[in-house]
Chain A
Amino acid sequence: MLNVIVCVKAVPDPKEADRIRIDPITKTLTRGNVPLVLNPLDRNAIEAALQLKEQYGAQVAVISMGPPQAAKIVKECLALGADRGLLLSDRAFGGADAYATAYTLAKGIEKIGLPDVVFCGMASSDGSTEWVGPMLATFLGMTIVTLVTEIVESSGRQWQVKASVENGYRLVQVDLPAVLTVTRELNVPRALSFSGIVKARKKEILEWGIKKLELQEESVGLKGSPTIVSKMMTRERKRQVEFITGTREEKVERLIQELVDAGAL
C-alpha cells in the first residue's frame, strides 16, 4: 500500500487577504484579523491523494507547519478523508521563508517515515513562491515534478504525469518516491461530508515542536531563513482616476467613446 503525504498550509482567507496592508506611515503590516483557511491549491493536493487511496489503497497523512490555529485546517483535511494529521508548530518556526519551511517539513516527514508520494499545492495564496515543493524534495532526496495537471499512469512505481509549460504540457516519467506539486487543473476537490466530519473526530492530530524534531534554532524559522524582508514600501500613485458617472446608459456611452478612441470599435 502506498504511503502518501500531503503538505498543506493555513493561509489568510484569500477573499479577505487584501485587508492585510502596509501602513503608509509606519511601513509595518496591519493584519486586519483575517481568518486562516486551507490554501486553495492544497485542496487539489488532498484530492489527488484521496483519489489514489480510493483507486489503489493508500495511507494518507497530512502535514502542516504553522501556528496552533492551523490545527483547524489539518482537522478539515482529516474530515475530507486523510488518515492522520501532523502539525509542526513552535514559536521558533515563526518567520520562516520557503527554504526554512521546506527544511522543517522535511524533518517532520523524515520523522514520521519517508512516503512513496508527497503532494503539495503548486503555490500558497499568500507567499506565492512555488518553492516549498522542490526544496522539500531536495532535502528529502526525492525527485520532483512541479505544475502537474494530469496523472496519466499511477498503477506501478513508475508514473507518467503531464505538467504545465508555456502553451502546452510536458509528459514526464517519474519513478517513486517523488514529490508532485499540483495545479488546479488536476482535479475537482471534493466537499466536506457530514460522515467525514464525524469520522475525523476519532482521528489523531500529532503536534510537534522543535524539541520533538531535534532541530537547532538556527536552522528553523526566521534564523534559518536565507532571505529576509529588508524594507516595506507603499506604491506611489502614477495615475489619477477620473470617475465616469451618470446613469448606466451614460456610463456605457462614455466607455464606448474610450473604446472608439483606442481603436477597438
Chain B
Amino acid sequence: MTKSPGPVWVIAEQTDRRLLTVSLQVLGRARRLADQLGTHVGAILLGDKVEDAARQLVAAGADQVYLGDAPHLAIYQSKAYTGIVVELAREHQPDILLLGSTAMGRELAPLVAARLETGLTAHCIDLLLDENGILEQQVPAYGGLISIICPERRPQMATVAKGVFPNPELDESRAGEIVRLDVPENLLWPVRTLEIVREEPKGVPLETAQIVVVGGAGAGDAAGWQRIVELAHVLYAGLGSTRPVVDEGWTGLETMIGQSGKMVSPTLYIGVGLSGEQQHMVGITGAQVMVAINNDENAPVFEQVDFGIVDDCREFVPALIERIREIQST
C-alpha cells in the first residue's frame, strides 16, 4: 500500500453515562485492525456528562475520542446522532466504521451508511483484513460462513453483537486525545425519543445463566413451546429461542439467540427441537457442554454439539421435566 489508510472508527454507545460492553469489545477489535493497517483508532461518543466514559474509551485503545457532550444528546436521537457522525466522517474519512448491534446501532448504522453512500454489513461474527488491507466481514449464512467486502466505497461499515469479541484490557495510563465537539442544538427534530423505559427482564437473565435451554420450531405449537418454557423454569435456566419461534409468536425477540439476537456462553446448553441453523449456532459457540434433542438424526445441529438425543421433543421434554421434578422433591 502506498499511503496509510484513514483511521478505524467506532461509534460508542452509553446508557446512563456508562459505556456498553459491546462498544468496548468492538473498540478492542478496532485497535487490532488499526495496528495491522498502521493507522489510528477513533471513537465517537455522544451523551450528557459522559467525559468519564470518553476516558474509558482511551483506556481501551482509542487514540482520539470525539465527544459530543450536551443535555439534548443524553439519549439516542436519530437526527442529531446521524448528523454529527456523518459530518465527522466526511471530515476525517475513516477507512472502517464499526458499531455494536444494539437497537441504537442497528438504526444509526444504516442511516449513516446511506448518507455516506457506502456499504454496511450486519451482525458480523468476525472482522479480519485480507492481503490488500480490505475488511473481511464474516457472517453466518447457508449452513456456513460468508465473507462480505466493501471493495470501493469508504468507510467500510459493520455492526457486531455483544460477546463476539472479548473485553479489551483497560490501561488507565494510556494517552489519547479527547476532542470536544461543538454540537448544534436543534430541538425541532421531526423524530425524537421522548423517553426510554426499562422493564425488569422476566426469568433468568440469558447472558449470565449457567444453563440455557433453547427451543426451536420443533416445539410444534404454542403448547409445545410452553413445555420448553417449563423445562427452563425447573432447571432455573435461561430461556432462549431461534428466529422461527419468534416469527411464530410463541416468544418475544428478547429471547432470540444467535447472529441477530444474543450471544451466550453457558456451562450447559440444551437445544430442543432446533435444526442447527448457523444464524442460531454462532450465538452459543462459547458454551462448555452442548446437548441437542431432535427427532431427525440428520439435523445439522448434531454436527455441532457434544451429546445428541434423537427423539420427539414433544414427548421427551415432558418425560424429562417429570424426572427432574422427582429428583428435586426428594
Contact = CB atoms under 8 A, between A and B. Distances in A.
Contacts of A259: 211, 235, 268, 324
B104 A227 contact: no
Contacts of B195: 170-171
A175 B309 CA distance: 54
B305 interface: yes
Contacts, number: 265
A35 interface: no
Nearest to A133: B110
Interface in A151-207: 160, 163-175, 178, 183-185, 188
Contacts of B304: 237-239, 241
Give the residue among A40, A160, A237 with the most B Cβ atoms within 10 A: A40
Contact of B246 (A184, A229, A248): A184
Interface in A55-110: 97-99, 102
A105 B275 CA distance: 34
Contacts of B306: 239-242
A233 B120 contact: no
Given A139-B114, A172-B193, A144 B268 contact: no
Given A22-B144, A233-B146, A265-B328, A172 B107 contact: no
A29 interface: yes
B209 to A, nearest CB: 11
A262 interface: yes
Contact of B115 (A138, A164, A231, A261): A138
A227 B122 contact: no
B111 A138 contact: yes
Contacts of A184: 246-247, 249, 253
A255 B111 CA distance: 48
B255 interface: no
A203 B98 CA distance: 45
Interface string B313-329: 00110011001100110
A209 interface: no
Contact of A138 (B114, B277, B302): B114
B191 A173 contact: yes
A233 B267 CA distance: 28
Contacts of A217: none
B324 to A, nearest CB: 7
Given A167-B254, A172-B192, A40 B247 contact: yes
A28 to B, nearest CB: 10
Contact of B113 (A21, A99, A238, A258): A99
A241 B193 contact: no
A213 interface: no
Give the residue among B110, B236, B323 with the most A Cβ atoms within 10 A: B110
Given A173-B192, A174-B191, A184-B247, A230 B201 contact: no
B32 to A, nearest CB: 20
B103 A134 contact: no
A262 B289 contact: yes
Contacts of A231: 136, 146-147
B308 interface: yes
A6 interface: no
A171 B243 CA distance: 25
B121 interface: yes
B327 A248 contact: no
13 contacts: A134-B114, A138-B110, A166-B102, A169-B196, A226-B120, A230-B136, A241-B305, A248-B311, A253-B323, A255-B307, A259-B268, A259-B324, A262-B211
